[in-house]
Amino acid sequence: MNVNALFCLLVVVFCSCWNVPPQSELHFGTICTINLYDKGTRKLYQSIFNRFNEIEDHLSANKAGTDIAKVNAAAGIAPVVVHEDTFTVTEAALRYAESSGGAFDPTIGPLVQLWNIGFNDAHVPAQQEIDYTLPLVDFRDLQLNSEQSSIYLPRLGMKLDLGAITKGYAADEAVRIAREAKSPRGVINLGGNVYAFGVKKDGSPWNIGIKDPLEEDSIVGIAEVRNKTIVTSGVYERFFEADGMRYHHILSPVDGYPARTGLLSTTIIADRSLDGDALSTAVFVLGYERGHQLIESIPGIDAIFVFEDMSIRGTAGVIESFTLTNELFRVRK
Ligand code: FAD
Ligand code: MG
């Protein structure tokens, strides 16, 4: 190796070990920002973003050639052997479909495509189209074979959509990679799917802002957490307006319309982001009474509910440490 080549190699090695500022990239249709503080090397950030690429290549419903595209194309025809990522997330999704009584349903794909909320051709479907599509949504029909790692949708037209749980899985993977690289603390933000892992250098908790569902760049208050994920589902994330009505992207598998339960957003605080992501969507669809019951039945999980009447309620484990910062809202017992 000549002197120039050796110099270049040393520069590359040196730069990849050097701490760099927080990094952002576009994945999962949203901006993903990672801050690993004093242990964030370019190489470590890149290995996390590479992992996001892998997860998208397996689990995206918006991309050709993914496991999800293959399973959907083979609906009513044959089971499809899938990657471990896909099997793990689908298995977890099925568990949450069962525990939420189908409020969370990973076979929601045909309805998601019918509305296409978040894309240019989003529109209110005719009632006939909804009536035709709804029977294709039923998690009880989903067949998983763990020995073969295969997934089967038994009826033509059925479609998997794991958009409500995959960002949580990806956040958990990011934290796993960072911890394996001996990075003790950091904040991962995948478009509202936040994981604040470890504790701050001075030992104090992280202060995480809970988004104001009605106003961009505004928060309703701050939750204090240590080593937790905070995941929010809300009406503001993706929506379109028609005839003075707002139609958001969290759909009710019961009537096929955007879920209307008097809530603007639901936030889950948990140890695993996969759980937080699935539950934030499930609880939004269930509404306060049934959602609160579900959360109280699972140890170690807390929730914050923001209502259309601008009130905020929370489970016992979080509401004590929640600080309201927005005077337009009020905390209710
Ligand atoms: P969540 O509440 O977590 O999830 C809502 C989403 O889940 C809906 O958008 C719908 O897809 C689905 N859903 C709706 N109702 C239910 C229900 N009752 N039960 C279960 N699921 C439901 N967006 C793009 O614009 N372009 C892309 O290329 C793109 N690629 C993506 C690839 C991956 C792997 C993932 C995970 C997401 C991607 N997205 C993309 C974003 C995706 O389309 C969703 O909008 C996003 O995942 C919603 O997340 P959320 O946190 O806003 O809401
Ligand atoms: Mg979710």
Query: In three state form, how does the secondary structure of the chain look?
Result: CCHHHHHHHHHHHHHHHCECCCEEEEECCEEEEEECHHHCEHHHHHHHHHHHHHHHHHHCCCCCCCHHHHHHHCCCCCCEECCHHHHHHHHHHHHHHHHCCCCCCCCCHHHHHHHCCCCCCCCCCCHHHHHHHHHHCCHHHCEEECCCCEEECCCCCCCCCCCCCHHHHHHHHHHHHHHHCCCCCEEEEECCEEEEECCCCCCCCEEEEEECCCCCCCEEEEEEECCEEEEEEECCCCEEEECCEEEECCECCCCCCECCCCEEEEEEEECCHHHHHHHHHHHHHHCHHHHHHHHHCCCCCEEEEEECCCEEEECHHHHCCEEECCCCCEECC
Of 170, 214, 212, 176, nearest to 194 by C-alpha is: 170
Joined tokens for residue 312: 């905020």
Residues of the chain short of pLDDT 50, as ranges, are 10-14
Write the burial class of residue 326 (CB in 10 Å: 0-12 exposed, 13-18 middle, 19+ buried).
Answer: middle
C-alpha 282/C-alpha 250 separation (Å) is 9
Predicted local distance difference test score (pLDDT) of residue 210: 95
Domain coordinates of the chain in residue numbers? 69-152, 205-331
Residue nearest to atom 9 of ligand 1 (CA): 249
Give the full edge-to-edge strand order of the sheet including 143-145.
Answer: 80-81, 150-152, 143-145
Of 161, 138, 171, 175, nearest to 276 by C-alpha is: 171
CATH homologous superfamily of 69-152 equals ApbE-like superfamily (1.10.3980.10)
176-185 exposure pattern, b = at least 16 Cβ within 10 A, e = fewer: ebbeeeebeb
Joined tokens for residue 105: 């349903």
Predicted local distance difference test score (pLDDT) of residue 166: 98
pTM score, two decimals? 0.94
Predicted local distance difference test score (pLDDT) of residue 16: 53
Residue nearest to atom 47 of ligand 1 (CA): 163
To test the pocket of ligand 1, the residue of 53, 167, 169 to mutate (highest count of ligand atoms within 8 Å of its CB) is 167
Predicted local distance difference test score (pLDDT) of residue 201: 87
Ligand 1 atom with minimal separation from the 103 CA? 18
Of 188, 265, 185, 177, nearest to 226 by C-alpha is: 185
Joined tokens for residue 4: 């120039």
To test the pocket of ligand 1, the residue of 58, 85, 169, 238 to mutate (highest count of ligand atoms within 8 Å of its CB) is 238
Q: In sequence order, which residues have a C-beta less than 8 Å from that of residue 213 and are 6 or more positions away? A: 220, 234, 235, 236, 264, 265, 306
Of 187, 182, 189, nearest to 167 by C-alpha is: 189
- Report residue 222: phi and psi, to 5°: -125, 135
Residue ranges lining ligand 1, Cβ < 6 Å: 28-29, 56, 59-60, 62, 104-106, 108, 112, 118, 161, 163-164, 166-167, 192-193, 233, 237-238, 249-251, 253, 277, 280-281, 285
Cα four-point dihedral sign 62, 63, 65, 66: negative
| Beta pairing, strands 150-152 & 80-81 | antiparallel
Q: Which CATH class is domain 205-331?
A: alpha beta
As beta bridge partners, residue 187 has 35, 196
Predicted local distance difference test score (pLDDT) of residue 19: 81
Residue with tokens 């929730």: 303
Residue nearest to atom 3 of ligand 1 (CA): 164
